[in-house]
Every structure is written in C-alpha cells, then in structure tokens.
Amino acid sequence: MSRLGAVSFVAVEQAGRLLAEYLPVSPVTSLQGGRTLLKDEGRLPTGSFKVRGALNRLLTDADQARARGVVAASAGNHGMGVAYAARLIGAAATIVVPSGAVAVKLAGIRALGAEVVTAEGGYAEAEAFGRRLAKERRAVWVSPYNDGRVICGQGVVGLELVRQIEASGGGGLDEVYLPVGGGGLAAGVGTVLKRLSPATRVVGAQPEASPFMAVAFGGGDRQGVIERPTAADGLAGDVEAGSLTIPLVRQVMQAMVLVSERQIELAATWAWQQAALRIEPSAAVALAAFLAHGQGRSAVILSGGNADPDWLTRCGVPALGG
C-alpha cells in the first residue's frame, strides 16, 4: 500500500478507536450563539494536537520503537507528542530541535524524558540532522506530517468535531479553519469532512512569512519562496519534497489564507478576550484567518496552547495564574 493510499476515512476511524483509550476529547467553545466554534487542542496532555499523530504512529509500531529507539525533528509540539508517546510505550526518544526553538516547548520535551539535540539553523536543518541521526542509529523516524499513520491520528480532530456538533444538535458547518504547516492536520481533518460533511469548506491558514504549503496548494514553485521570521514556529519551513500531504491537501481543502504577524497577535488577544483561551501563535494563525474571512457557521481548530509567555504578554494575555 502506498503512503498516499494509507490515508482514508476508515483508517482515521481506526485511529480514533485506538486513541480514545489514551487521550481525552478536546473541548469545543461555542460563541456568537453557536455560529463560531473553537476546538481547543491545547487541552490535550502535551498542549497540542500533535500528540494524536505521534501516538497513532508509535502505538502501531511499538515493538520496533522499543527495540530501536525513536528520533524526530520538531520546533516543539511534535517533539512533545513523540516524547509522550515514546514514554507511554517504553521507548527511548531523541528530538532534534532548531536553534531558535521556544523555551517552554523545549522544557516540555525534556520533562517527558526525551533527549534533546539542537541543530544549528531552522527547522530544515533540524530535520536533515534528525534523518541522518535516525539512519545512523537505525531508529524509528517519526515525521510530523509525511506519514499516513500520523495523518490519520491528526484526522481524529475532525471526527471529534463532527460528533460534538451532532451531539449538540446545532446543525452543520459552513466552514472549518485550521493551521497548515506540513499539512498533516489539514489532510486528516479534510479526509473526515469530505466523507461526513462534504458541504463544509475546509480553509487552511499560514503565516505570510512562511507560505510554502500555500504556494504548493496553488501549484506554484516553492523554490521561489523567501521565508521570513514568524511567531508561528510550528508552521514555519518548507514541506518535504514529495510529501504525501501535498496531493491530499489539494484533494480535501478548498482554500488557503495567508495572515500577517500583526493579525496573529490580534487573534491571540481575541481568543483571550472572547473565550479566556491562551493559544499559541500557530493556533492564532487559523483564528486570524477566520476573523478576516469567516462566513456562516464556522469552526476553528486551535492547534495548541504552548505559547512563549513573553509573546502572550505582548498580545495582552495575562500569564498563567494572572
């Protein structure tokens, strides 16, 4: 079976049954009379949706992971997800991080018992180093997105959302907004919605500073993208060449929106003021896209809550306990 063929609605359902034994259902906050729904993945054990894909990947390959160890590259959230999953199954994990990784995420990775190795440069350098390290150690490599089992784990977000809406008796959705980096979340959630809610538009969001998947989605040449710094570290960097997420995202997503750094900050402020939610910049990207373009009854997938406290302060969000 090809990596692309490994992603299906049935496979997401299987992942949902498996993950239900280990993870809670993330809550949905209803605003504006039920016309705006915020699904808060920051309430999961590692503070991000990434733990879903990592768990589905390692639980279905636990013997190999325990025998050979696990390696991943991450700006933070994927690393915490892999560290959490590896600890759960009793495997050693090494996470390669870029030199500018957010301190709160590094602390989270270490607290979960994983070895942290820093690669000089950005995410691309960290991934290249991580792949070499995994090859040298003959360890299990866990991609943050270019893996069918990871994508299906992320797709469980969509399953939960549809079931929560059905349980509320609130009717269907016009749009779902979600952040896009490598495209694993979009591919997984989009696969679910294409089956269960085909009239719902799936709208991806990226920072203007790092629009690699947006260019790929539109059929452009990613080689011409000039990347700039962004607070949304979890969405930064190019997509792996030949990634199965590129054709999947084109199949299941209807639009892509780019947002500025200022829009990202304002969205984080809005989330706190309207719903008392502390969200990280990557989650704020999807919310910013909704605030600028949302129409009808919409859901926003808030991908995580592991924000740099200083960044939150700049957005006017008080520190924990404040």
pLDDT, tens digit, 9 for 90 and up, residues 128-141: 999 999 999 999 99
Share of the chain above pLDDT 70, in %: 98
In a domain, 22, yes or no: yes
CATH label of the domain that carries residue 17: 3.40.50.1100
HSE at residue 275, side-chain half, CA atoms within 13 A, is 22
Mean pLDDT of 120-149: 93
Same domain, 119 and 238: no
Q: pLDDT, tens digit, for every residue of 254-271?
A: 999 999 999 999 999 999
Domain count across the chain: 2
Confidence of residue 240 (pLDDT cuts 50, 70, 90): confident
- Using a 10 angstrom Cβ sphere, with 0-12 exposed, 13-18 middle and 19 or more buried, the burial of residue 57 is buried
Same domain, 94 and 191: no
In a domain, 322, yes or no: no
- d(Cα 231, Cα 208) in Å, to the nearest integer? 11
Q: Where does a domain end: 141, 170, 192?
A: 141
Same domain, 28 and 56: no
Share of the chain above pLDDT 90, in %: 84
Q: Where are the alpha helices (DSSP H) in the chain?
A: 9-19, 50-59, 62-68, 77-89, 103-111, 123-137, 148-168, 184-196, 212-217, 245-252, 261-275, 281-293, 309-314
Alpha-carbon distances, residue 205 vs 41, 55, 267, 302 (angstroms): 16, 25, 13, 12
Same domain, 72 and 199: no
Same domain, 101 and 180: no
Mean pLDDT of 145-154: 96
Same domain, 59 and 156: no
pLDDT at 69 exceeding the cut of 70:
yes
pLDDT at 20 exceeding the cut of 70:
yes
pLDDT at 79 exceeding the cut of 70:
yes
Q: In this structure, are residues 95 and 83 in contact, taking their beta carbons and an 8 Å threshold?
A: yes
pLDDT at 316 exceeding the cut of 90:
yes
The pLDDT value given to residue 321: 54
Closest CA relative to residue 15, chosen from 192, 273, 137, 141: 192
Same domain, 55 and 44: no
Listing from the earlier edge strand, what are the strands of the sheet with 255-259? 28-31, 36-40, 298-302, 175-179, 201-207, 255-259
In a domain, 258, yes or no: yes
In a domain, 235, yes or no: yes
Can you give the residue range of the structural domain that contains 173? Answer: 9-48+147-314
Cα Rg for the chain, rounded, in angstroms? Answer: 18
pLDDT at 2 exceeding the cut of 50:
no
Same domain, 84 and 36: no
- d(Cα 89, Cα 98) in Å, to the nearest integer? 26
In a domain, 1, yes or no: no
Mean pLDDT of 298-319: 94
Same domain, 119 and 60: yes
pTM: 0.94
The pLDDT value given to residue 169: 77
Same domain, 60 and 43: no
Same domain, 82 and 221: no
Contact residues for 25 (Cβ-Cβ < 8 A; gap 6+): 160, 164
Q: What is the mean pLDDT of the chain?
A: 94
